[in-house]
């Protein structure tokens, strides 16, 4: 009885966090019938002008975004050592965490957008299994990326008076596919 009581909070935590692996989101992206095509600068501009309207229009949708690569990174440095003595749910959780950390990311160059305060940025995250298709992606290259705009991350700082100051917003495309590169 104690084991199942301990397992329930863990399952609730996983369910409430809505943990989705990048490759699962990529399957949704591949299967999407409706795709909104937009330029990276135009997408960020729409959020700068009216973030609420832009969020309603784009968040949760599959987008095909054309833009210039500002920065490209591949993370594959995290390797958790698991052994067979761990419970299955713990091993599964660790493997999913490792898979989501070891991704490839394109940060679009949106410097031409009249930046607001706080500024916006746009990233595209690719699953670890997609590394071979990203060979040859360089800074300043023009690319077209298809992905799901899952969320907007907010980076904030707590001030001395306990108020929070927002430093930046990041529009985050998840489960991405590289459609074109030049």
Cβ-contact 11, 3 below 8 angstroms: no
Name the nearest CA neighbour of 68 among 133, 5, 131, 122: 122
User: CA 97 to CA 120: how far, in whole Å?
Assistant: 26
User: CA 158 to CA 166: how far, in whole Å?
Assistant: 9
Which domain, by its residues, includes 27?
2-181
Cβ-contact 125, 172 below 8 angstroms: yes
* CATH classification of the domain holding 18: 2.40.50.140
Q: Is the pLDDT of residue 18 over 50?
A: no
Q: Is the pLDDT of residue 12 over 50?
A: no
What SS3 state is found at 6?
Answer: helix
What pLDDT, on the 0 to 100 scale, is given for residue 21?
A: 66
Tens digits of residue pLDDT in 52-91: 999 999 999 999 999 999 988 766 554 555 556 666 666 6
What is the tally of structural domains in the chain? 1
The 8-class DSSP code of residue 134 comes to: G
Tokens 């713990």 appear where?
90
Tens digits of residue pLDDT in 82-132: 556 666 666 666 665 555 555 678 889 998 887 767 888 999 988 877 777
What is the average per-residue pLDDT within 159-164? 82
């Amino acid at each position: 009885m104690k084991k199942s009581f301990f397992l329930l909070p863990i399952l609730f935590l996983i369910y409430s966090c809505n943990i989705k692996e990048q490759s699962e989101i990529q399957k949704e992206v591949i299967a999407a019938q409706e795709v909104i095509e937009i330029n990276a600068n135009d997408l960020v501009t729409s959020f700068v002008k009216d973030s609420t309207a832009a969020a309603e229009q784009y968040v949760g949708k599959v987008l095909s975004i054309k833009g210039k690569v500002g920065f490209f990174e591949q993370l594959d440095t995290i390797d958790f050592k698991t052994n067979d003595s761990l419970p299955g749910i713990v091993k599964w959780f660790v493997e999913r965490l490792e898979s989501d950390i070891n991704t490839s990311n394109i940060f679009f160059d949106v410097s031409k957008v009249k930046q607001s305060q706080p500024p916006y940025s746009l990233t595209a995250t690719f699953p670890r299994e997609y590394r071979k298709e990203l060979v040859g992606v360089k800074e300043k290259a023009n690319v077209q990326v298809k992905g799901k705009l899952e969320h907007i991350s907010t980076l904030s700082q707590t001030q001395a008076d306990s108020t929070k100051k927002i430093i930046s917003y990041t529009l985050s495309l998840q489960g991405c596919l590289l459609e074109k590169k030049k």
